Amino acid sequence: MTNMGIVLAILGAALAALLAGIGSAKGVGLVGEAAAGVVSVDPSKFSKVLILQLLPGTQGLYGLLTAILMLSRIGVIGGNAAELTTAQGWEFFIAALPIAIVGLISAIFQGRTAAAGVGITAKKPEHNGKGIIMAAMVETYAILALLVSILLIYNIEV
Amino acid sequence: MGGTKYANAVAAVKAMENFLLTRSDLDQLISAATAAEMESLISARRCSGNEELTLEGVWEMIRGYAPDCVELKILLYKNDFHDLKAVLKSMLSGHDPKSCCIRPTNLDLDLLVKAFSSKEFDLLPDYISSTAEQAYELITRTLDGQLADSLIDSACMSAMQKAAEESGSSFMVNYARLITACADIKTAYRCAKMKKQRSFLETAVCGSPELDKESLIRAALGGPDSVLALLETTSFDEGGKLLSQSPAAFEKWCDDMIMELAQTARMQAFGAEPLAAYYLAAEAELKNLRMIRVCRESGTDRETITERMRKLYV
């Protein structure tokens, strides 16, 4: 049980990358479906719908960033893993949860909003920006979660 | 977090809505000096410039994007049962059924012909097989084509309502009920004028939660005014008033009600509803175009044509 701390910290990092990545994959996939529908009828709208498709992909990047920061903090990336107590391990694990959970859920909902935005682009391409803004609003909560995760990671004493 | 079905199909349909005719397009078509000018105006509005809009084409396109969408099949029940009538009568009169059948349908015409010629009605899907058998038995026994038609029409409405309820889509349920109510009102009013017996009405009227079958039959037995009085107590009050003026005005009101229902699905980003709505939009547009062409050929004045135009989706 002496290694429990590092195991929990690595599990937290893995969850951050995994859940946020799953959310992004689902979100980007959904918008991609909608975008493909529009492009199959009007290929000239490709660049406009592509921006919408990219939006739910950011949560996956936030999860990756969190995981890298955590692995760096505990020394796994440098090849000199820190000796963590179980309590410290739990602290790192909990620090990963905001971006892991909020990233998963917000990416899926951002995908839905962006897919609906693809409908706006299909019918009224001149209002494409409104669809982007609506989808970007969902991003706020992923950014807040990322911020909380980073603050927690840097405030854990190693 | 579910409910994101048919994102691809709905987005494609939304892109295609741009090529549907608008009210100002219709006004331009009505005002066009010649038929050639009208056709060139239509071509200019279409996707890629010259693709002709056909219901069969629209259906194939929607099914191509959403092949697993079973709810949409309900939209074609009317055509399926129409073809059932056409094949039944064609075979009894020795004519080629192909000339009377319409497309698109859920049923393969050859299968329908085979079912009737071999009397193997089980070859047909469940929603239509028993009706086919009953209609065949009825027409061969009574030689009453009108009664067989009424039986098939009523069975079509029942099948639509049943399938819509099974699909769980409130849009399809509302569509099936609206179609049924409109058909029942027309049937009851016509039967009341022709002083039809209760036995005929029981076969011809389908009934729906909006318009109870028994109330409608009783009203029809009481005469046309009795039907209109019944409608005054329902949400079909406005339709009843138009029916008393002219059946054509009532037909237009029914089509407009269906289009109002279709418009409720216009804002949805996912699901079968926008796909069904697009099909209904194409149906309304083609009906309008057909009316403009026929009215122009018959020399009908522009005001009358404009009055007859159905509500559009866009």
The CATH number of the domain holding residue A73 is 1.20.120.610
Answer whether residue B3 shows pLDDT above 90: no
Residue of A nearest to B9 (CA): A37
Indicate the residue of A37, A105, A123 with minimum beta-carbon distance to B9: A37
Please answer yes or no on whether A115 and B14 come within 8 Å at the CB atom. Answer: no
Cβ atoms of B135 and B172 closer than 8 Å: no
Indicate the residue of B8, B18, B270 with minimum beta-carbon distance to A123: B18
pLDDT tens-place string over residues B111-123: 999 999 999 999 9
Indicate the residue of A37, A105, A112 with minimum beta-carbon distance to B12: A37
pLDDT tens-place string over residues B51-104: 678 999 999 999 999 999 999 999 999 999 999 999 999 988 888 888 889 999
Residues of chain B in contact with residue A30, where contact means CB-CB under 8 angstroms, are 4, 7
Please answer yes or no on whether B14 and A119 come within 8 Å at the CB atom. Answer: yes
**Total domain count for chain A?**
1
Tokens of B246: 């002219």
**Total domain count for chain B?**
1
Answer whether residue A20 shows pLDDT above 90: yes
Answer whether residue B49 shows pLDDT above 50: no
Mark out chain A residues that contact chain B at CB-CB < 8 A.
30-31, 33-38, 40-42, 45, 105, 108-109, 111-112, 115-116, 118-119, 122-123
Closest to B251 in 3D by CA, of B166, B169, B182: B182
Please answer yes or no on whether A37 and B18 come within 8 Å at the CB atom. Answer: no
pLDDT tens-place string over residues B227-280: 999 999 999 999 999 999 999 999 999 999 999 999 999 889 999 999 999 999
Answer whether residue B199 shows pLDDT above 70: yes
Residue of A nearest to B7 (CA): A34
Answer whether residue B176 shows pLDDT above 70: yes
Is residue B39 in a domain?
Answer: yes
**DSSP one-letter string for B183-241:** HHHHHHHHHHHTT--HHHHHHH----SSS-HHHHHHHHHT-HHHHHHHHHTSTTHHHHH
Given the structure tokens 């706006």, which residue do they identify?
A: A120
Size of interface A-B (CB pairs under 8 A): 64
Answer whether residue A91 shows pLDDT above 60: yes
Answer whether residue B47 shows pLDDT above 80: no
More confident residue, B182 or A1: B182
The secondary structure of B41-65, three-state, reads HHHHHCCCCCCCCCHHHHHHHHHHH
pLDDT tens-place string over residues A48-76: 999 999 999 999 999 999 999 999 999 99
Is residue B41 in a domain?
Answer: yes
Tokens of B240: 């009843």
Q: Which pLDDT score, from 0 to 100, does residue A128 have?
A: 93
The secondary structure of A41-94, three-state, reads HCHHHHHHHHHHHHHHHHHHHHHHHHHHHHHHHCCCCCCCCCCCCHHHHHHHHH
Cβ atoms of B274 and B265 closer than 8 Å: yes
Is residue B214 in a domain?
Answer: no
Q: What domain range includes position A32?
A: 4-154
Return the amino acid letter for A54. L
pLDDT tens-place string over residues B150-172: 999 999 999 999 999 999 999 99
Return the amino acid letter for B273. E
Q: Which pLDDT score, from 0 to 100, does residue B294 have?
A: 94
Is residue B278 in a domain?
Answer: yes
Q: In Å, how far is A43's CA from the nearest CA of chain B?
A: 10
Answer whether residue A1 shows pLDDT above 60: no
Q: In whole angstroms, what is the distance from residue B236 CA to residue B232 CA? A: 7
Please answer yes or no on whether B15 and A42 come within 8 Å at the CB atom. Answer: yes
Q: What does pLDDT average to over chain B?
A: 93
Is residue B89 in a domain?
Answer: no
Q: Which pLDDT score, from 0 to 100, does residue B208 have?
A: 95
Q: What domain range includes position B301?
A: 1-69+272-314
Q: In Å, how far is A73's CA from the nearest CA of chain B?
A: 35
Confidence band of A2 (pLDDT split at 50, 70, 90): low
Please answer yes or no on whether B269 and A36 come within 8 Å at the CB atom. Answer: no
Q: In Å, how far is B10's CA from the nearest CA of chain A?
A: 7
